[in-house]
Structures are given as C-alpha cells and as structure tokens.
Structure 1
Amino acid sequence: MVVIAGERSGVGKTTVTLALLSFLCRQGKLVQSFKVGPDYIDPMFHQYVTGRFCRNLDPVLTSIDYLKQCFSFHTQQVDYALVEGVMGLFDGASGDFFSSTAHVALLLDLPVLLVIDCSRLSGSVAAIAHGYRSLDLRLQIAGVVLNRVGSDRHLQLLQDALAPLNLPIVGVLRRQDNITIPDRHLGLVPTGEINQFDRVIDRLATIGETCFDWDKLLPLLKPQYSPVSPISLIPPKVRIAIARDQAFNFYYQDNLDILTQLGAELVFWSPLSECVPDNVQGLYFGGGFPEVFAAELAENHPGLESVKRAILAKMPTYAECGGLMYLCQQIVDFDEKSHNMVGVIPATAIMGKHLTLGYRHATALQATPLVTPGLVVWGHEFHRSSLSVEPKEPLFQARGYEVLSPSIAEGWKSPFLHASYIHTHFGGNLDLPKRFINGCTQFMSN
C-alpha cells in the first residue's frame, strides 16, 4: 500500500495514479483506491478504472478513527491498494500539516512515492527530493516518479543528480506520455462526459506497463491485512430517492453505504429525464453540475413538478450545493441565461467567476431533517454560484477552518428540508443520517 504524492498541485499525481490503476486492472487484479481530501471527481476516475468505489480519506470531514477504520475495512480481500494524495505533500487544510497527504500517510503508516514535474529543471531535482525527504523524518519516501522528462539526455541529468541520495526512481514519464483530461470551472470533467474515455484508459494502462519499475512497485502496493469486523446491515425500512446522473453525481460513497447500513433502500433516478420514483419516503440531492445541464433540467417539467409536490407534501429532503441550486426558482448559467428550476427556495442561483472553496465549521441554527439547533458539523464548500436572496432564517452559522475566520449565515431550511452549499460526510457524525432516516420513517407512517 502506497501514497502517490506531489511536490505541488499540477505535477501529474492523477495521471500517475490512473496509469498504475489501469495497468494493474488490465492484469485482472483487484485494486482498492483512496483519495485524500474532499474531492468528488478524481474518485470517479478511480472507480471507472477499478470498478470499485474509491474512498475519501479526510480527517477534517470525518475523524482520525473513522479514516483508519475506512482504510482497514476496504483493503480487505484485494490484491493491491493505492492512495492518491491532494495538492502538495505537506499542504493541509489551511496551509498546516493536519489533513495533508503527509498527515494521512503517517496516520496509516504508508510509504510515499513523490511525483516531481521535471519539465523545467535538471540538477535541481535533487534539492527538491532531498527537501521533501528531510522535512519530516517520520515519513518514508520510498521513491520518486519523474514526470514530463524531455529526452534521454534530460533523464541522464536527473538520474545523475539523484544518485547521491540513494532514492529509487520508480517511474519515468516522458513529455509525450502526458495525457490531457479536459477540465472546467470545478476541475476535471467527469468520466461520464468524456467521449471515448476507454481509449484514454487503454493508453494509461500502456504507460503504466512501460514507464514504471514494477519490481520495486509491487511490494509497496501489497496490502497488509488487519482483520476488521464485518458491517451488520439493518433490514430496509424506508426508501430514499437518490438523484444521480450527469447533473448530480457528487456523492461520498460512504454516505450512501451508511444510509444502507442504517436501514435505507436507495432508489437512484435522473432529474434530467425522470420523475421522483414511486413509493419513496425521502429525497437526497447531491452536488454536481446542474448549471451545465440547466436547460435539460428545465425541460423536464414533470420531473420538476414531482420534486415540488414531494417537498410540499413534507417529504424529508436533503440537498447540498448543486441540489440546493436545483431547488431554487431559477439557475442563471455562465452565459447569463435563466432556467426555471423546482422553485421551493425563493432565490435564484447565479453562476459567477468567484470560487468559494474550503472547509466549514458549521453550527446549526434551526431544526431540519438532518440537524438540531446547536449541532456542530464539519463540511466543505466548492462552488462558483451564489444566491440572489439571503435566507431570513439561515440554517447554519459557518466559519472557515481557522478559528478566527469570519462567519457567515448560510442555508435554507424547514422542518422537512435541509438545503445548503455545505457538503457533509456522514462518517463525521452518524446523527445526521440517523435523523434523516427517522424523519423518512415518520413520513411513511403519516
């Protein structure tokens, strides 16, 4: 088991990770992947390659104990395990060490492979590698991956510079090996929107096969089993409709698993083309890209009406970020075109250039299907939209990761609706899904 880390963002961690995963899966191996931090999109790529749900490792959104339990449980019965880091190796929640890739590597006692962008350096690669290995001697830097190497002569200079460090070079990717995955305002474009993505995966698998020293890599990737008790499931007692399609696909798989473990049957449906499924007692709208598919969402009049009817009938509803936008009266997209949405929230979601990003320490001010007044939750925001109207009775009083950061009033609520820009991870507080399921059960009995 190993962590793929970068010396900074943009050095090619995801390309390296996908190349390794693709090659191993081409060999018919069972590989479990993980992603450090609150990211939704990179795990989609992992899942596409491995056929297994990628798991997020985030001690801010959950806890150190939950992180360790999650990792131990999901590395059972697999051939190999791999963790993709976030940002640079030592970049944490607010520039500190906590929740950084290095922090997670230490918590799990895993070696690190450091990916270095060599496109604009030669001899200086040794200073970078030495600095990262020396900054925290508790970390085991097991080797380096040299990315964007320009020529054989360039590679020789890099090898000569690194030789005195006795630090293994476990991979070399040439500049022509670079694979560009399209991106947009919130990062990479999800796999479901990329044409002929299987060809990209096939190319990545070839890179994985030819560009890495597998004699050095395979021993690092083998999981060390720690027996974990199986999860006991409660028989389903409620049915919850989960909006999942190209517009809504930001979900932590752990959230869905926890709902199932607590007694929910999950019913997946598409707001792009369908109506709320029959015989459900709760609605869950995750984040995603409703602004990209606003025209299609607006054209599905029966779907919009079915959601509105369900919420007005007091069906417990949880909507985060993109889900919040969908429940507004309108979405104004990047082209300043307005599209009618569900309309249960008296505001318009307007796309803009400003990115709101970061962890949130949120105190509930009102009761909703998930929270009670005074409950404190950790969450994460990641969006480029804002609402035209502020809520009169906000759901949360929220601040950033830093204790002294300014606080904001945020979120729309009713006793049956929880709508917020803040994404939550149920592994951080099981009271959230338990309360949601209890509300769905009460709705069913009414």
Structure 2
Amino acid sequence: MVGVIRRNEDMHLAMRHLGLVPVLEGKTRHEGFADRVARIREIVEDGIDLGRIIEIARGAEPLPEVQPDLYRKNSVGEGVRIGVARDEAFNFYYRDNLEMMELAGAEVVPYSPVHDKALPDVDGIYIGGGYPEIYARELSENAGMLSSLERAHERDLPMYAECGGLMYLGREIEWDGERQEMAGLVPGKARRGEVRVVSYVHGRLARDSPLGSAGEAIMGHEFHHSEMIMDEGLDYAIRLERGRGIKGGWDGVCQGNMVASYTHIHSASFRGFPANFLGACKARQWPSL
C-alpha cells in the first residue's frame, strides 16, 4: 500500500443534474472553487506517497512500441481552420477529436459563445456539449455572436453541434420557468426532460452530410437531461439502431451544411468523422466572416 485518502468534507465538490460542476464554470460561478481544488491536492499529497508510485512505475517492463494507424498524421485538413466553442458554457469534448483534426493538418481555433461578439475567421464550426441552460441568459444576450452564427449558416458554412450545442442552435431554451431565445438555426426548442438519458448509441448515417456519406456506421453516446421539441417534416442525418436521439431514434437534424445531434461522437469509434468533417469544410472554404 502506498497511501490512503480518508473521508474529508474539504474534498466535497458541488453536484447537479448531470454530475459535477466543470472546472471552467467553477472558476467563474462558484466562490472558493480554486481554493477547494487546492485543498484536495494537499489532501492527496499528504495521504499518498507519490514518489513511491513513480518509483514503482519506473520499474515496470517497457511497453511495446505501437503506432496506431488511427493517430497518424495526414493532410486532409491542411489549411482548414475549425472554430471550436470553448468556454464555461461549452466544454464537453473528447480531446482525441480535436487532436485528430490537428493531426490532419487543421487548425483548431477556440472561441467563446458567451464572451466573443463574433465568430473567428474559420472554415467550419464545432459546438460541443456543456450547460447552455445554465448560461442561457448570457448566450441569449450576446446578439453579436448569434448574428454571426446566422450569417455563417446562411453562407452554408459546415457546422456540427453536439447535445448542448444542439440546444444552443435551437430557437429557445426553457429551463426552470425561464425562456431565453437562442440562435434559431435548428427548428425546435429545448426544455428540461422528464428523465435523464444515458446510453451508448449506434446506427448509420441516413443521408450525406458533413459527418459523412449515407450508410456509414456511427457509434457514440448520449448523456442529457433535456429534450428537443421539434417541428415536423425535418431531415435527420442519423438513424439509430440503439439510443434515443432527438426523436424516435432519429438524430442529427440537418439544415443545409449544419448537423446538430444529441449523440457525442468519438473519433476512435467513428473513425471517418474528422476526415469527413474537415473535407466538407475544405470544400466550402469562404473568405473572412
């Protein structure tokens, strides 16, 4: 045994409807968050012999050298700039997805839907998961960013949104008795669902889209406590064989070059995603926004 961490109230972190408070939000909205994290570090350092753990690790047999073909460099995204929404409202990403885009030669350009007044000069938009319902007022009041998104959509700039990104691109978010207008690019509105949806998903692309070609297999997961109330007669990019999606096993609502889904994609289980999306962006590169 190299140590023990005893139960300690100083290690308590705030919880809510989908788990722990993310670090970026904790720093901006929760007083004493940084001090709490520092205290947790002290408790771990006091209770665990970290030097001994490192010593044991250094004595382990070397791992075989493996170069997975999944993470090889390529040039499919050379010259492509991808705007990635990343702030306290949107920060649920698989880091592998972003690194795969960079390995393909693309430049990942972070921006803030909460604070920035316009999109950066990019060739495509990736809006991941998060808590837009918690920041609905700030997102709604950022008229400059919403207008910039609308202009990008009118020009058919490829966009992919997951979960919280889907909610943000809808008409409005209704949460805890309050309604806030959102981007209005997705024909529907978000509200708190009756149950929490947690599931792995798999299915196939039902039509050609920035995610790939019809018939390609897709795997991922869904994890949310919201539901989308959608207009009728919409096109969807994903037909799920397992999972709920937006409506009745359909996910990935399509509007032009925009796809917005509840499914979170990982590039190891849907290997075509980075190259497919970057290819769509490269095919429709535009001058500065």
CA distance in 1, matches of 2:83, 2:102: 12
CA distance in 2, matches of 1:390, 1:356: 21
Partner of 1:211: 47
Distance (whole Å) between structure 1 residues aligned to residue 272 and residue 117 of structure 2: 29
1:214–1:326 distance in 2 versus 1, CA, 3 Å: closer
**One-letter code aligned to 1:217:** I
The amino acid across from 2:102 in the alignment is T
Task: Output the CA distance in 1 between the equivalents of 2:232 and 2:164.
Answer: 17
User: What's the CA shift string for 1:119-146, capped at 9, x where partnerless?
Assistant: xxxxxxxxxxxxxxxxxxxxxxxxxxxx
- Give the length in aligned residue pairs: 272
**Contact 1:365-1:373 within 8 A present in 2 as well:** yes
Q: Which amino acid aligns with 1:343?
A: G
In structure 2, what is the equivalent of residue 246 of structure 1? Answer: 88
Counterpart Cα distance in 1 of 2:15 and 2:97: 26
8 Å CA contact 1:367–1:415 kept in 2: the answer is: no
Q: CA RMSD in A?
A: 2.4
Deviation at 1:352, TM superposition (A): 2.9
Q: 1:434 aligns with which of 251, 275, 287?
A: 275
Helix, strand or coil at the partner of 2:199 = strand
For structure 1, the residue ranges without an aligned partner over 5 or more in a row are 1-168, 402-406
Partner residue, 2:109:
267
Q: Which protein shows a greater Rg?
A: 1
Residue identity opposite 2:166 in structure 1: L
Q: Select between 286-295 and 273-282 the one with higher mean Cα deviation.
A: 273-282
Superposed displacement of residue 209, structure 1: 2.8
Aligned residue for 1:428, secondary structure, equals coil
Tell me if structure 2 keeps the 8 A contact 1:325–1:331.
yes
Alpha-carbon distance between aligned partners in 2 of 1:330 and 1:445, rounded to the nearest angstrom:
29
Identical counterparts, % of pairs: 35
Q: Who is 1:227 aligned against?
A: 65
Gaps of 5+ in 2: none
From 152, 164, 172, give the equivalent of 2:4.
172
1:188 to 20, 23, 43: 20
Give 1:210 shift: 2.6
1:197 aligns to 2:33 (yes or no): yes
How far apart in 2 are the matches of 1:432 and 1:376? 11
1:390/1:398 Cα in 2 relative to 1: closer, same or farther (>3 Å)? farther
Q: Counterparts of 1:125-136 in structure 2 under 5 Å?
A: none
Give the match for residue 367 of structure 1.
208
Equivalent in the alignment of 2:154: 312
Q: Secondary structure at the match of 2:88?
A: coil
Q: Give 1:288's aligned amino acid.
A: G
User: What code does the residue aligned with 2:186 have?
Assistant: I
Evaluate the alpha carbon distance shift between residue 374 and residue 303 of structure 1 in structure 2; reply closer, same or farther with a 3 A threshold: same
Instruction: Label 1:218 to 1:239 Cα distance change in 2 as closer, same or farther (>3 A).
Output: closer
Match of 1:354 in 2: 195
Please give the alpha-carbon distance, in whole angstroms, between the structure 2 residues aligned to 1:375 and 1:297.
34
Residues 297 and 341 of structure 1 are in contact (CA less than 8 Å); yes or no, is this contact kept in structure 2? yes
Which amino acid in 2 is paired with 1:416? Answer: N
